[in-house]
Amino acid sequence: MNYRKWMLGLLVILLCLPMWSSGARAATLQITIELDGETLVSDVPPYITTSNVTMVPISVISKGLSAGVDWNQSTKAVTITKGDTVLKLTSGQQFAFVNETSVALETSVQIKQGRVMVPLRFVSEQLGLQVIWNQAAKHIALYSNVEPPQAADPQTPTLPVTPTVPTPSAPSIPSVPGTKTGKAMKGAWISTVFNLDWPSVSSASKADKQKQEFDSLLDKLKAVGFNAVFVQVRPSADSLYPSTLVPWSKVLTGTQDKDPGYDPLEYMVSAAHARGLEFHAWFNPFRATTDSSAATLASLASNHIVKTHPDWIVTSGGKKYINPGIPQARQSIIDTVMEVVNGYDIDGVHLDDYFYPSDSSFADDVAYQTYNSKAISSKENWRRDNINEFVHELGTEIHAAKPSVSYGISPFGVWRNKKTDSTGSDTTAGVSAYDNMYADVRTWIKEGWIDYVAPQIYWSLSFSAARYDKLVDWWVQEVADTNVELYIGQAAYKVGASDQSAEWQSGQQIINQLKYNEKYDEVGGSIMFRANDIVVRNPFGLASLLTFYNKS
């Protein structure tokens, strides 16, 4: 009898072991860090303070971020140097010096078990990196020279599948007989945020150098066969032109609202037209800042919207957003766009997918109660109506002022999944334009509010969660029998990137996608993200491949 009780007790213990071990793993889940897809090794585990600040040893800063680090034991101060940036943090002080300017800190240097620990987000952002924190995975992704995507790539759900079928590499797609290889639109996005494509950081306040750099970039793009550029003129509620409404962008001089000494937009439009290239002014509609660090907020000009209308601003996912639910806030953005439409000889107005953020909560309960004049019963539908109002009103003003100006939007590539909506695409994306960004693109197309749509189909021909070909098929059906042009947004930035899978380790992926586009007359061309990834980084000779394709 005692033997049976002993065996029963042992069986219970064995059955509980998996739960205990799983709980132990969850409790000891360590913070992981990567920079541009490469894992950074920390000789001691990072940790999170009671004020939710991630602390890392200075070795991560020196080895991982390639910054100079000097620790003064007597003053308990660490000096971090990279390029022209010098940071000084002292243990026990709730502020740091950034190039001799005092900046408030939540947590400064800490000494733990004899190791010098510093706040990772603060240091990284001061060195020009973007920081994305994944709470569930305890993972920090740092980005340099690249803007983090608005929405993460869709992930294939974990399902029991037997047998496992290997993911095929990108198929070679022949040109379709009877179709022309060259599509009308051959566009490239030129990013100015973080000085990605233009102007370079080293050209700050050097008008002649900025002009030379832009000329060189256009010459390279034209040589490849591009015929249009989509240039980011409003990266963070600021401008690359003299504006009476918003401050000068800091990408021109290093300081927001500092006059660069010339009109960059006027020069860029003229330079593009001189080469026979269309110039489309690209606006980030509702993004106010790229981060919400104390240093960034302190550096904002007095006429930046975050300071002039803090009641219009919502902080979400580490960024400041202009609240789309406030009519006056929406109109302020429309006024900014119209300043460019009326003042410059642009060929088009282009919006990206910065509407509501897809990856974080958005505190707009008060706006929902205050500005819901249509008595819309759900906040989700109210949000979509806000964006619809904005899209429609902006288009109306553009077309009334200059009917020749093309007006288009580049939404996230998945409108809705078929599982959620039977009329959606055959995809399993974890994020969709309609459900997460509240972008009702179908309505914009059917109502004819926009002249073209350029969905960002940034996935390969073999990516099962959101295959390029299936999404092109779906968008073709959406624009059928309408007057809305369809251009496909393509991910040149993924070619040769170290964090991408095998099918992107060749320029042929982009070529095969272009060949697939030839299948449809409804596809009027493509826009590639982004310029430097094609004609400067030029992975696997992508520029030559595109040149040959465009001339064939």
The confidence score (pLDDT) of residue 168 equals: 37
My answer on whether 265 and 385 are in the same domain is yes
- Whether 319 contacts 288, CB under 8 Å: yes
- 104: number of Cβ within 10 Å: 12
pLDDT (tens digit per residue) in 211-221:
999 999 999 99
pLDDT (tens digit per residue) in 99-135:
887 777 888 999 988 889 999 988 887 887 766 666 6
My answer on whether 523 and 385 are in the same domain is yes
My answer on whether 212 and 136 are in the same domain is no
Q: List all residues 6 or more positions away from 388 whose beta carbon is below 8 Å from its beta carbon.
A: 440, 443, 444
My answer on whether 190 and 132 are in the same domain is no
Q: What is the CATH number of the domain that holds 79?
A: 3.30.457.10
My answer on whether 230 and 364 are in the same domain is yes
Q: Is residue 399 domain-resident? A: yes
Q: Is residue 256 domain-resident? A: yes
Picking from 84, 114, 143, the residue at the C-terminal end of a domain is 143
| More reliable by pLDDT, 174 or 447 | 447
Q: Is residue 12 domain-resident? A: no
Query: What separation in angstroms does the CA of 99 have from each of 80, 220, 295?
Result: 10, 37, 11
Q: Is residue 162 domain-resident? A: no
Average pLDDT, stretch 298-303?
Answer: 96
Q: In the chain, what percentage of residues exceed pLDDT 70?
A: 86
Check pLDDT > 80 for residue 462. yes
- Whether 87 contacts 94, CB under 8 Å: no
pLDDT (tens digit per residue) in 404-448:
999 999 999 999 999 999 999 999 999 999 999 999 999 999 999
Q: Which of the 8 DSSP states describes residue 285? A: -
- When the pLDDT of each residue in the chain is averaged and rounded to a whole number, the result is 88
My answer on whether 273 and 358 are in the same domain is yes
Average pLDDT, stretch 304-322?
Answer: 96
d(CA 65, CA 167): 34
Check pLDDT > 70 for residue 173. no
My answer on whether 318 and 439 are in the same domain is yes
> Residue 141: pLDDT band by 50, 70, 90 thresholds?
confident
My answer on whether 309 and 379 are in the same domain is yes
My answer on whether 133 and 190 are in the same domain is no
| Range with the poorest average pLDDT among 92-96, 264-268, 485-489 | 92-96
Picking from 143, 171, 202, the residue at the C-terminal end of a domain is 143
The confidence score (pLDDT) of residue 34 equals: 82
| More reliable by pLDDT, 303 or 82 | 303
> Residue 144: pLDDT band by 50, 70, 90 thresholds?
low
Number of domains in the chain: 2
Average pLDDT, stretch 251-277?
Answer: 97
Q: Is residue 158 domain-resident? A: no
- Whether 384 contacts 415, CB under 8 Å: no
My answer on whether 236 and 316 are in the same domain is yes
Check pLDDT > 80 for residue 530. yes
- Whether 330 contacts 133, CB under 8 Å: no
Q: Is residue 175 domain-resident? A: no
My answer on whether 137 and 190 are in the same domain is no
pLDDT (tens digit per residue) in 19-45:
444 343 334 578 989 886 678 888 888
CA 226-229-233 angle, 5° bins: 165
Q: Where are the alpha helices (DSSP H) in 352-502?
A: 365-370, 379-401, 433-436, 441-447, 468-479
Average pLDDT, stretch 462-481?
Answer: 97
d(CA 142, CA 61): 12
Picking from 143, 164, 193, the residue at the C-terminal end of a domain is 143
> In 3-state terms, what secondary structure has residue 155?
coil
CA 239 and chain centroid, separation: 18
Q: Which domain holds residue 69?
A: 32-143
Q: What is the CATH number of the domain that holds 417?
A: 3.20.20.80
The confidence score (pLDDT) of residue 170 equals: 42
The confidence score (pLDDT) of residue 151 equals: 57
Q: In the chain, what percentage of residues exceed pLDDT 90?
A: 69
| More reliable by pLDDT, 320 or 170 | 320
Q: List all residues 6 or more positions away from 411 whose beta carbon is below 8 Å from its beta carbon.
A: 353, 433, 437, 439, 441, 453, 455, 456
User: Which of 306, 322, 194 has its CA nearest to residue 250?
Assistant: 194
Q: Is residue 121 domain-resident? A: yes
Residue recorded with tokens 């959606």 = 424
Q: Is residue 25 domain-resident? A: no
pTM recorded for the entire structure: 0.74
The confidence score (pLDDT) of residue 156 equals: 44
My answer on whether 419 and 538 are in the same domain is yes
CA 172 and chain centroid, separation: 30
The confidence score (pLDDT) of residue 510 equals: 98
